[in-house]
Structure 1
Amino acid sequence: KPVDVRTEGPLLWFGLFADYQTIAPEDVAALLPDPAGAWTGAPEPLIDRDTYDASLSRVLDLIAAGDIYQANLTFAATVPFVGDPLALYARLRSQAKAGYGALIDTGETRFLSLSPELFFALDGDTLTCRPMKGTAPRGDTPDADRALAETLAADPKQRAENLMIVDLMRNDLSRVATQVAVPDLFTVETYPTVHQMTSTVTAMLKPDCDAVDVLTALFPCGSITGAPKQRAMEIIAEVEHARTRGIYTGAIGRFDANGDAIFNVAIRTLAIQNGAATMSLGSGIVADSAADAEWDECHAKGAFVTARQRRFDLIETMAFDPDDGLPRLEAHLARMKASAQALGFTFDRHTARNELQAATFRLRGPRRIRLLLSPSGAIAIEAAPLPHSPAQATVAIVPLPVTATDFRLRHKTSARAFYDDARKAAGTFEVVFEDAEGFLTEGSFTSLFVQRGEALVTPPLRRGLLPGILRTDLLESGRATEAPLTRADLTAGFFIGNAVRGLIPAIVTVANSTDRRV
């Protein structure tokens, strides 16, 4: 019985290339942007727990009825994401220990695969498969972590799951190969958020078969379908609530001109389209599977998208005056709320307002007030003397050191070292960043304004810059408009400014156009 394979995307996507280049891992890292330029939240399932439990119960009923021994039950999830997809890949690649990862850009979608699972490798006439089945969470201490890995290695349920898939892979391989062997069984590998059990199956390709025959015989991988494979796929089509799995649990790899091939199993794989990220998560269901454990296993597998993510706070900096208080307070709170929503921070606007009022109640002179918000919603407030501003600011034009899609350009955060480093290196009061296309964006702590007649002009947000409070105020009042700016526009006079300092006349003293990062 054929399985419904209707999908909104292609079933097969490939490119033909005259050659390929082998690049050392450290050189690949140098080609990618700053890993800090992307932020992700924890995966959010597109089904609720009751729906998942009902699907799992149906699978268990079919196992009890003898239809199958095991099925891989999965669900789709959205991944809160802002920033540069390439920066996200750089971060995940550096930490995920993905031996079979890939970055694919189809023009419409970017696939970021951090797969630890080898589907198959064909080297001459030697075939190798490394099915992965069996999972345990990481421990909080070295001793606890080691104990969990040892428990996984000896767990009869996990071994039984793994062995079922090994037997399935051996059977599939026998169609196209001889001398099928299992040199390694029940090996535990450790990844940032989970321990995984893998086994290695090898074989010798039959003389009349090639890599396409191997893919035809093995696809899809038994570790992500179940056993028996055909009936498991029919059940998956019945009980999973996504229309199709898309790239998830498919395969990403290459065929070489000499006949060799290598493909992964596309797990731990994100798809990013139109700025939105999705992925899927799953686990193998057998007769004694429990819903709580399987649900938790899926979430443990998805935790790699946030593992070791650099922590930062959201910031708002404002001027306090004993007579006027905090004049633009509501605008600052609105911007912090928007950033908190985009980045998954907890934020109570009423609490922030009250704490600011309490912190400034006894102040007797002008102050610079800094409001900091942690991801959990904790608020900190710092007060300092208002900074001195020169009558005319010296400015250096420097290359934008991050990509225009870096989320730190659009949200005011404590992750701002690249701003401060650029200003210190220039040795001027401020810098103005120039992007890869030669357009000016903003300063390290100010917005940019050019004088055109009676009006001010400021770069549009799409160039990659912060929606500054002073900038927004001038735009909304009609005193400023948006337009792309280049360094040639600065000759007629320009200003830099922010909500604390106001507008400051500026002059360019350094114009460095080299070493532009793209």
Structure 2
Amino acid sequence: MSQKETFALLETILYEPFKGFYLLDQHIHRLLKAAIDFHTNDTSQFKIIPSFDQIKNFVEEKVPQDTNTFKRVRLLYNDSNEGLKVEYTDLGSDYKSNETLTEALLSKETLLTVILDTEAIPCSVTDPFILHKTTQRQIYNDARKRTQCGEKTFDVILWNKHHQITESSIANIAIQTDKGKWITPSLQCGLLPGVFRDKLLSSDENIIEGVITMDDLINAQKNGDPIVCFNSVRKIYRVQLLL
């Protein structure tokens, strides 16, 4: 995709009753970094970047902060006259999620089914539209279409030309080794640096960055080793790989 085409920077945020916006500061910092990076690469883009406080105040003003309803919030920012924009969807009052790897392992929830993409990601692992979250999601949408996500499976797992696992179309991924440690793909493999991923890596010594090959993931499923995906809205959830 040409960077001259229209797109918006995107952050998807969870609003939690009585707690507020989950990891909001981190989401804002990531959006600002994306704007700066795109502008550095092409000075015609994102010439005027709002401040941290402007974005935070905008979100807090635009999203009703009910006391009993979880919300999925989409924060968008582009170069058009729209500038900042917020959309939100109610998730109900009984929305549940796992914030730690231990909680996810103990969860009795049904494992969601994922499938490996049939093709490697068709771009460099340093492509800005992989490293930053935007509304330009052709790579992910094509992968979902190829594997009939929504019909056969919940999500698709992407991989690069070196047969290294990168991420799913909506989340980061990790597997547990036979020694009890968790491994999540390194950023050098080509993936979005998820806000929740950063939180896990900084707060849980049992998860580290590394390389997960396609064979590693397949063997994890065959051996019954836990596989999880995670993002800032769903947090951590168990998955099973369709072989």
Q: Distance in 2 between matches of 1:381 and 1:369?
A: 7
Residue of structure 2 equivalent to 1:416: 137
Please state how far the C-alpha of 1:489 moved relative to its aligned partner: 2.2
Q: Contact (CA 8 Å) 2:176, 2:183: kept in 1 or not?
A: yes
Please state how far the C-alpha of 1:437 moved relative to its aligned partner: 1.0
Give the unaligned 5+ runs of structure 2: 40-45, 98-108
User: RCO (CA 8 Å, sep 6+): is it higher in 1 or 2?
Assistant: 2
The structure with the larger Rg is: 1
Within 5 Å, give how 1:183-222 maps onto structure 2: none
Residue of structure 1 equivalent to 2:22: 327
Residue of structure 1 equivalent to 2:169: 444
Please state how far the C-alpha of 1:434 moved relative to its aligned partner: 1.5
Q: Distance in 1 between matches of 2:139 and 2:33?
A: 23
Q: Contact (CA 8 Å) 1:319, 1:386: kept in 2 or not?
A: no
1:338 correspondence with 2:53: no
**Which amino acid letter does the alignment assign opposite residue 85 of structure 2?**
A
User: Are the structure 2 counterparts of residues 508 and 310 from structure 1 closer, same or farther at C-alpha, using a change threshold of 3 Å?
Assistant: same
Q: Deviations over 1:366-425 (max 9, x none)?
A: 000010001258100001133989731111111233212321110000000221231233
Residue of structure 1 equivalent to 2:74: 370
Q: Distance in 2 between matches of 1:423 and 1:501?
A: 19
**Which amino acid letter does the alignment assign opposite residue 331 of structure 1?**
Q
Within 5 Å, give how 1:248-397 maps onto structure 2: 309-344=4-39, 345=46, 346-363=49-66, 364-375=68-79, 378-386=83-91, 391-397=110-116
Please state how far the C-alpha of 1:332 moved relative to its aligned partner: 0.4
Partner SS for 1:437: coil
Please state how far the C-alpha of 1:359 moved relative to its aligned partner: 2.1
TM-score (norm 1): 0.38
Q: Contact (CA 8 Å) 1:438, 1:486: kept in 2 or not?
A: yes
User: Are the structure 2 counterparts of residues 483 and 362 from structure 1 closer, same or farther at C-alpha, using a change threshold of 3 Å?
Assistant: closer
TM-score (norm 2): 0.78
Give aligned-pair identity as a percent. Answer: 29
Q: 1:489 aligns with which of 216, 220, 228?
A: 216
Q: Contact (CA 8 Å) 1:391, 1:504: kept in 2 or not?
A: no
Residue of structure 2 equivalent to 1:11: none
Q: Contact (CA 8 Å) 1:366, 1:386: kept in 2 or not?
A: yes
Give the unaligned 5+ runs of structure 1: 1-35, 40-308, 511-518
Q: Distance in 1 between matches of 2:50 and 2:58?
A: 13
Within 5 Å, give how 1:176-187 maps onto structure 2: none
Q: Distance in 2 between matches of 1:494 and 1:412?
A: 23
Residue of structure 1 equivalent to 2:186: 460
Residue of structure 2 equivalent to 1:235: none
Please state how far the C-alpha of 1:316 moved relative to its aligned partner: 0.4
Q: Distance in 2 between matches of 1:312 and 1:482?
A: 30
